[in-house]
Amino acid sequence: MPDWRSDIRILSIPSCAIVPKIIRLTSFLGLQIPPVNSEDKKSVSQQSIISAKDVYRTFEIGSSRIEVLRGVSLEVQAGEKLFLCGASGAGKTSLLYTLAGLEKPNQGDVFVRGESLYQMSRARQSRCRNRHMGYVFQNYALLPELTARENVLLPSMIRGTNDHPRAEDLLSRVGLGDRLHHLPAELSGGEQQRVAIARSLINDPEILFADEPTGNLDSKTGASIMDLLLSLVDEQQKTLLVVTHDTALAQSGDRMLHLTDGKMNQ
């Protein structure tokens, strides 16, 4: 099943310009850093920026076989805010991880910007995630050895751009301009999630994935985090996919889909 190693894999993209402590941390997590490729961005000519076609995902635990996704198909339009809802264990996070290229389906395929995500090489898939996708995790997934600014910079550093001005600007826009040099342990849960939101936007991706972004926060802080995320998505014209069990929260999107026992209900 999805685990903590996937949380950092969303950031993976080849680069030689990575500081030693990043190399040490990524090596500890067992990540591969493939060679740099200067592939240009393709323009999105089709309406659907991301789609899933008849996706199945099965996990085997001992002698047990668990079907988490059972024939899921969906299309997401560019600029759409889509909320995926369902009870715990319905397959929401597994679907999000599959759409983001983190967990390969047993059957079916995912298309990003018109191209099969799972037919790409691992290096190209990493470039696709780093350039076109941002991810906000329920548990923040900040690296404890890095400051707020360094955590935000990480996808940019891995890409080789090392965009310090944009990192500082994003932290200021999420209300943390005076917390640039604080470690995660020195930040509240809400502040850590703000850092994670800034990090997800550092490479100006077209698609943002958010897995229960308010799940570890109290209701007041969670509401402010969601308002911030939605306002940034609207302002920067991003496509947003959010996993949540909160149907009231999901009303703030353009569309809501329900997962039940691994199947999609409109």
CB contact set of 116 (below 8 Å; sequence gap of 6+): 109, 110
Nearest Cα to 124, choosing from 37, 29, 9? Answer: 37
The answer to whether residue 43 sits within a structural domain is: no
Determine, yes or no, domain membership for 41: no
Write down the pLDDT at residue 247.
Answer: 86
Residue 121 lies in a domain: yes
Q: Does residue 127 sit within a domain?
A: yes
Res 47: pLDDT? 66
Q: How far is CA 223 from its chain centroid?
A: 19
Q: What is the DSSP string of 107-133?
A: EEEEEETTEEGGGS-HHHHHHHHHHHE
- Alpha helices (H) in 55-188, listed in sequence order: 92-99, 122-132, 148-159, 164-173
Of 124, 115, 147, the C-alpha closest to 12 is: 124
Q: Classify residue 40: in a domain, yes or no.
A: no
Question: Would 134 be classed as within a structural domain?
Answer: yes
Q: What is the pLDDT of residue 31?
A: 42
- Our count of domains for the chain comes to 1
Residue-wise pLDDT tens for the chain (266 aa)? 444 344 444 444 333 333 444 544 443 333 444 444 444 444 444 468 999 999 999 988 888 888 999 999 999 999 999 999 998 888 999 999 999 999 999 999 999 999 999 999 989 998 999 999 999 998 999 999 999 999 999 999 988 888 999 999 999 999 999 999 999 999 999 999 999 999 999 999 999 999 999 888 888 998 899 999 999 999 999 999 999 988 888 998 999 999 999 998 86
Residue ranges making up the domain that contains 109:
4-35+48-265
What's the CATH number where 95 sits?
Answer: 3.40.50.300
- Position 11 in a domain: yes
